[in-house]
Structure 1
Amino acid sequence: MRTVTLLGEDTSGPSAPAMDLADEVPPLTRVRGWVREVLSGLTDDEVEDCLLVVTELVANAYDHGEAPRRVRLRQSSEPCSVRLEVDDAARGEVVVGTSRLGEHRGRGMVLVAYLSTAWSVEFHERGKTVWAEVSCSAPPPVGG
């Protein structure tokens, strides 16, 4: 895993569809519905891969991070890829394969690594952004 430290960089950008996550518990059904809608131009398998990745990233932001939280999608057409980003206010490291929440936890980022072409953590003055890129075969729709 590559870790990049960014100070003061705004990663939101105007062209990235985003959803604020103000709920006390992870709004996974709502997040998945939103992602499915934004990525409606991709194949079912590509959307399912993105749904698994975003579910894990959002769940981790609630289990290990701090509010405020936000999820964002960035789409690229050449090559076709979707970058799923989740922000939270905690600055702790992301540890793959272990969890402070019990021995049957801690495998989610292994799944993210398997389904994505790349993933990383970017630290900034507001906390961190954990992101993963998932490849696709057809260009996603412009503007979601």
Structure 2
Amino acid sequence: MSTQPGISEREPNPSGVTYDLDATATRELRQAVRRALAGYRGFTVDDAVLVADELISNAHRHGDAPRTCRLDLTRQGRYLRIEVDDASPRQPRHRTPDGSGGRGLMLIDRLASTWGVENHPRHKTVWAELALNRDGSSGRAPHLAAARDWPSRD
């Protein structure tokens, strides 16, 4: 996890979009991620949808309104950056998974290439970036990428 990405590392796509999470269904955001990655298939899209879903769910569950989500292609389109803002000062934290949750940040940590938190005077931004130029998953979840290579059971 990082607390501040370098400015030189971020080159937002001018066509990036922002959604009001208090007025947009999570289902619509998942569809927006799929549309943004229309040229990709498989683990790349599935990982991105899952990371977006977890960030959005965490903002709804643990954050305060207003809440927004931005989707941008960065670094010449090689990464999808998902940013979720909320007004709560509480910081994301890993916790032991149990029946009520605790798996979200673990999934984000494994599926995203990098993620972090930017603190602002009146809100925070929890962000994640997923590499789009690799086969399989983001490269941080080798068990997912390796699954397609498992021998078939004949």
Normalised to the residue count of structure 2, the TM-score between the two structures is 0.73
CA drift at 1:31: 1.1
Alignment partners' CA distance in 1, 2:77 and 2:22: 33
Query: Whose relative contact order is higher, 1 or 2, with alpha carbons under 8 Å and at least 6 apart?
Result: 1
Q: Partner of 1:125: helix, strand, or coil?
A: coil
Tell me which residue corresponds to 2:91.
93
Q: Partner of 2:84: helix, strand, or coil?
A: strand
Within 5 A, what are the aligned runs for 1:25-36?
27-36=25-34
Contact 2:2–2:114 at 8 Å: present in 1 too? no
CA drift at 1:27: 2.1
User: Residues 98 and 121 of structure 1: is their aligned pair in 2 closer, same or farther, counting only changes over 3 Å?
Assistant: farther
Alignment partners' CA distance in 2, 1:13 and 1:115: 22
User: Residues 68 and 112 of structure 1: is their aligned pair in 2 closer, same or farther, counting only changes over 3 Å?
Assistant: same
Q: Partner of 2:105: helix, strand, or coil?
A: helix
Alignment partners' CA distance in 2, 1:53 and 1:105: 15
Alignment partners' CA distance in 1, 2:126 and 2:72: 13
CA drift at 1:107: 1.4
Structure 2, unmatched stretches of 5+, are: 5-11, 135-154
Q: Partner of 2:38: helix, strand, or coil?
A: coil
Tell me which residue corresponds to 2:102.
106
Rg bigger for which structure? Answer: 2
For 1:130, give the aligned amino acid: V
Identical-pair percentage:
39
For 2:104, give the aligned amino acid: G
CA drift at 1:16: 2.1
2:132 to 117, 125, 136: 136
RMSD between aligned alpha carbons? 2.5
Q: Partner of 1:50: helix, strand, or coil?
A: helix
Tell me which residue corresponds to 2:51.
53
How many residue pairs match? The answer is 128
Normalised to the residue count of structure 1, the TM-score between the two structures is 0.77
- Structure (1/2) with the larger strand percentage: 1
Structure 1, unmatched stretches of 5+, are: 5-11, 139-144
